[in-house]
A and B are shown apart, each in its own frame.
Chain A
Amino acid sequence: DTGVSQDPRHKITKRGQNVTFRCDPISEHNRLYWYRQTLGQGPEFLTYFQNEAQLEKSRLLSDRFSAERPKGSFSTLEIQRTEQGDSAMYLCASSLATQGNYGYTFGSGTRLTVV
C-alpha cells in the first residue's frame, strides 16, 4: 500500500493554457474524490467517483473543469483555459466503501500556479 499518489506535485502554467493532473488511489479503493484548497482556506469538495462513475459534482466545478476515472482506477482532472483564480492545491482522496462512509486517505496534492 503506497498511499494515494498525485502527479505532478507542482505545476506552473500561463493563463489560458490547459493542465491535467493525475491521481492514483489506493488500489482496492473504489471511491475517489477531488478537493480544491486555496490559500488560507480549508479544502472544498469538487467531485466524486464510485468506480468509474462520476456521481456528484460541486457547483465549483465550472465547465472548464473535467474529471475522469476511465477504468475505475486512476483519475485525471483537467482544467481548460486556466485563469489566475484556478491557482490552488488540488487534493485527491480515496476510500473503500466497506470501511464506513468516511475512511478517506488524502494524497499530498498538486499545487497549481497560474501566471
Chain B
Amino acid sequence: AQSVTQPDIHITVSEGASLELRCNYSYGATPYLFWYVQSPGQGLQLLLKYFSGDTLVQGIKGFEAEFKRSQSSFNLRKPSVHWSDAAEYFCAVGTSGAGSYQLTFGKGTKLSVIP
C-alpha cells in the first residue's frame, strides 16, 4: 500500500529565509505526487504536482519541488519565505486503483514564519 512520510511536524523560519519541506513516499509504481497548502479552518489548495517528465516542478506562489526517484522523495522548496506562507503543508501521492484517483496524504508540516 502507498504511504507518505513528512518527517517534520513543525518548522519555523525567518521571513526572507529559504525553505525546504521534506516528503518521502512509498508506492510500487511510478507515483503521481502533489503538494497542497492549508490555511487554518480552510480547505486544501494545490501548489504543484508531478506526473512525469522534468523532475523539477514549478508551482504557484514561488514554490518548486524536485522528484528524486532514487531517494523516493519529493521535497518542496521556496527561496524566500513570506509571512503569508505560514500554513500547513501536505504532501500526497496519487493512486489509480479502481480508477478512483484517490490521494494518500502525509500528516503535514506546519510552517511558522517569524519577522
Contact = CB atoms under 8 A, between A and B. Distances in A.
Name which of B43, B45, B106 has the most chain A CB atoms within 10 A of its CB: B43
Given A55-B98, A101-B94, A108 B104 contact: no
B105 interface: yes
Interface string A26-40: 000001010100001
Interface of B: 4, 32, 34, 36, 41-46, 49, 51, 90, 92, 94, 96, 98-108
Interface residues of A, number: 26
30 contacts: A4-B43, A31-B101, A40-B107, A40-B108, A41-B107, A41-B108, A42-B4, A42-B90, A43-B44, A43-B90, A43-B103, A45-B100, A45-B102, A45-B104, A48-B101, A48-B102, A50-B99, A55-B98, A55-B99, A56-B98, A91-B43, A101-B94, A101-B96, A102-B32, A102-B49, A106-B36, A106-B45, A108-B42, A108-B43, A109-B42
